[in-house]
Amino acid sequence: MAQVQIMSVIGSAVPAALRASGLLACWYLVRDGEPISGPLTSLPAAQALSQQIGAGAFRA
């Protein structure tokens, strides 16, 4: 089973809607290089979701 990792993106890689609200960075959960979550607005939120996935509480 592939490990879930947290990927951060900054600047122009951040979705336009988030940039428009003033965010210059966001985070995604990825597995095998493929995003399994939408953009998350904080690292703590990404970490919490990653733990939930690791515990089997979330299915992508």
pLDDT in tens, the chain (60 residues): 678 999 999 999 999 999 999 999 999 999 998 999 999 999 999 999 999 987 776 554
Supply the pTM of this predicted model.
0.84
CA distance 34 to 18: 20
Confidence (pLDDT) at 36 = 95
Pairing of strands 25-31, 34-35: antiparallel
Confidence (pLDDT) at 1 = 64
Confidence (pLDDT) at 59 = 54
CA distance 23 to 42: 10
